[in-house]
Amino acid sequence: MGDNDSGPLAACGFGFLAISRLVTTGLGIRHAMAGDQATHRQWMTRSIALTLAAVTLRLYLPIPLLFELNYSAAYTAIA
């Protein structure tokens, strides 16, 4: 895998994911500090789900190899 495998579409997706993780985690911390445990739990659940997107990506990466698909194109689609 080279530097250009993901392309601009995947790069935008990763950027949006990073910003979303920061926002959801920040909101979760903010509600925790305010003592609102129920809302804190909701925001942190969202944060965890976004964090697990990286795990899901890695679970999908072998699929193009198994079906002998173009890896660069498949990586962009998966990302």
pLDDT digits (tens, 9 = 90+) for 64-78: 999 988 888 888 888
What does pTM read for this prediction?
0.76
Does residue 35 come out as left (phi exceeding 0), alpha (psi in the -120 to 50 range) or beta? left
Structure tokens that stand for 58 in this block: 């890695």
pLDDT digits (tens, 9 = 90+) for 53-66: 989 988 998 999 99
CA gyration radius, the chain? 16
Q: Torsion angle of alpha carbons 65, 70, 74, 75, nearest 10°?
A: 80
